[in-house]
Amino acid sequence: MSLRDQIADRLTALYRRTGFNPSATKFILIFAVLNGVLYHLPLYSFAVKDLAPLTLPSTLTLLTLFVLVMLLTVLAMFLFALVSQRLLKPLAMLIVFSNAFALYFIQTYQVILDKAMMGNVFNTNTAEAGSYLSFSFLWHVLLFGVLPAWLISRITIRHVSRLRTLAALTISFFVGIGWLYGNAQSWLWIDKHGRQLGGMILPWSYVINAARYQTEKSMQSRELELLPAAQHSAQEKTVVVLVIGESARAANFALYGYARDTNPLLQKAGVTAIRNARACSTYTTASLQCMLSHVDTGNKLFHNHEALPSYLQRSGIATIWLTRNWGEPPLKVHTYLRDTDIRSTCTGSNCDYDEVLLTGLQQRIANMDSDKVFVVLHQSGSHGPDYYNHYPADGERFIPVCRSVQLQDCSPETVTNAYDNTILYTDKFLSGAIDVLRAMPNTRTMMMYISDHGESLGEYGLYLHGTPNSLAPDVQKDIPYIVWMSDAFRQHKTLAADMALANAKHAQQTVFHSIMGAFDLRSDIYDPVLDIFKDAAIKKR
């Protein structure tokens, strides 16, 4: 017998000698207490900080929060036990293991596991998920996930009748409701902070919001609503490149007044930096839906309208989508390539970074049959927490940098340095895209760059992005919006002085109508108010 088996048998024997052979009802109550204690430190920390100083009413509110966590767990597991007590152990093991993952990200990155954040989770690919791995992460999962799950696996749960289970459920319900009713004043505070609290109650935050996300995602299976036919009001050869940035915040762009020279190449390129641009959302999926839709999608996760690239392709404009990212809506385009598809033809030291998207781009455009070509370059950009992995070694100008995914363990200076290097690399990437367009004589060319959302670098204790819009700081919503125009394009169109951006929250929605305007494309859905290209000049930076 192996040493592991001997230890397991001795622990099992210890459980039995101490009488730890609980009934299903006792197991549920003990599990609910341990779940409420072990996995909710961020929840209670938030409450203690907000309720301070702890008077008798605030202490009762804190206890009410614990009772609420307990009640949700007890009721859910009792209902499950009415169906199958045999599966109680596997369920409890799954919960503690999942809670370990959720707790790590809540504690480390201050995320809130609402529906939007679960959308981020489901749209995260393997490469991005791997960037979060660290020694502390593994220890955390081992301590709060693997070990509790193993201990639960050694317990023998005694079966009880469904009648007793139902009685225990009923008693728990009325006791819990009695407490909550007796402390009704606590609900004013709980209701005020409902979104933050709901995103930290485990496992129900991620279970319920994952179900909400998947329910809305199922709407995608419905046939897309095609937009009305469009007409070309001009036939001149036109190439438009839309660069969709990732996690870039305007505050760290020199073009918007940042003290550091993070945009040396764009400063010389004659670009226009549109001020007061605002992201529709703080996560990629919703922001892409917003900028590629002709209507204001707000915070709706999915809608049924045809996306801009598909609409342009159907309208006779050859469309190319090249990406190192994800989260785009359903697309029907001429060419869709990921960086892994392009890398085989890329040479040089930058093929593992965003510049791989520029490989052969000029030739791809030349190979299109149409005189009008629309290209989307979707960057990996400044996605954290591993900012140091998003630019080549020769792009590390600002030092020292944080080389850990545990951003809170790094000094603010090193986190900012690493992030600023990603912005500096984006500057180089955008300059390269402009060079491709400059090499096309006798063609109206234009590049538009806009980020999907911003990023938190430790302000207010927050990192990364994905905080609900109503709670998110400005740095997660204020984004760069930059336009470059060739002389031929500029002679045909200029940027409007007001750009119809008085209501800045609609900035990303201008992308759809402005791209239509750039191609001189008109239809019943075209809104000139949201087209930034007008006949009035705007002073360039």
**Domain final residue pick, 219, 234, 254:** 219
User: How much is the pLDDT for 536?
Assistant: 38
Distance CA 299, CA 281 (A): 7
Same domain, 213 and 251: no
Q: Could you identify the residue written with the tokens 């090499």?
A: 439
pLDDT in tens, 308-326: 999 999 999 999 999 999 8
**Domain harbouring 397, CATH code:** 3.40.720.10
Parallel, antiparallel, or unpaired: how do β-strands 372-378 and 238-245 relate?
parallel
User: How much is the pLDDT for 540?
Assistant: 40
**More confident: 189 or 101:** 101
Same domain, 306 and 435: yes
- Mean pLDDT lowest among 87-101, 236-250, 274-288, 499-513: 499-513
Q: Is the dihedral of CA 312, 318, 324, 326 positive or negative?
A: positive
pLDDT in tens, 27-57: 999 999 999 999 999 888 888 888 878 788 8
Cis peptide bond prior to 528, omega within 30° of 0: no
Query: Which residue in 538, 492, 516 sits closest to 229, CA to CA?
Result: 516
Domain that holds residue 336: 242-534
pLDDT in tens, 470-489: 778 999 999 999 999 999 99
User: How much is the pLDDT for 541?
Assistant: 36
Distance CA 123, CA 117 (A): 10
User: 252-268 in b/e burial notation, b at 16+ Cβ within 10 A?
Assistant: bbbbbebeeebbebbee
User: Does residue 514 have a pLDDT over 60?
Assistant: yes
What's the domain count of the chain?
2
- Mean pLDDT lowest among 120-129, 419-428, 438-447: 120-129
**More confident: 228 or 503:** 228
Alpha helices by DSSP H, 453-531 = 487-492, 510-518
pLDDT in tens, 171-187: 999 998 888 878 777 77
Residues in the chain: 541
Same domain, 167 and 265: no
User: Does residue 333 have a pLDDT over 80?
Assistant: yes
Same domain, 346 and 206: no
Same domain, 410 and 289: yes
User: Does residue 302 have a pLDDT over 80?
Assistant: no
The answer to whether position 304 is within a domain reads: yes
- Hey, how many other C-beta atoms are within 10 angstroms of the C-beta on 195? 13
Strands (E), 249-294: 272-273
Same domain, 192 and 299: no
**More confident: 123 or 402:** 402
Query: Which residue in 32, 128, 131 sits closest to 88, CA to CA?
Result: 32
User: How much is the pLDDT for 504?
Assistant: 45
Parallel, antiparallel, or unpaired: how do β-strands 521-522 and 231-232 relate?
antiparallel
Q: Could you identify the residue written with the tokens 């045809």?
A: 306
User: Does residue 503 have a pLDDT over 60?
Assistant: no
User: Does residue 124 have a pLDDT over 70?
Assistant: no
**Domain final residue pick, 204, 219, 234:** 219
Query: In this structure, what token pair is assigned to residue 134?
Result: 């660290």
With H, G, I as helix, E, B as strand and everything else as coil, classify residue 229: coil
Same domain, 170 and 279: no
User: Does residue 495 have a pLDDT over 90?
Assistant: no
Helix, strand and coil in the chain, % to nearest 5: 55, 10, 35
Query: Which residue in 322, 326, 348, 324 sits closest to 335, CA to CA?
Result: 322
**Domain final residue pick, 165, 186, 219:** 219
The answer to whether position 236 is within a domain reads: no
Distance CA 190, CA 71 (A): 15
User: 381-413 in b/e burial notation, b at 16+ Cβ within 10 A?
Assistant: bbbbbbbbbbbbeebbebeebbebbbbeebeee
Query: Which residue in 483, 496, 501, 504 sits closest to 533, CA to CA?
Result: 496
With H, G, I as helix, E, B as strand and everything else as coil, classify residue 478: strand
Mean pLDDT of 124-149: 79
User: Does residue 327 have a pLDDT over 90?
Assistant: no
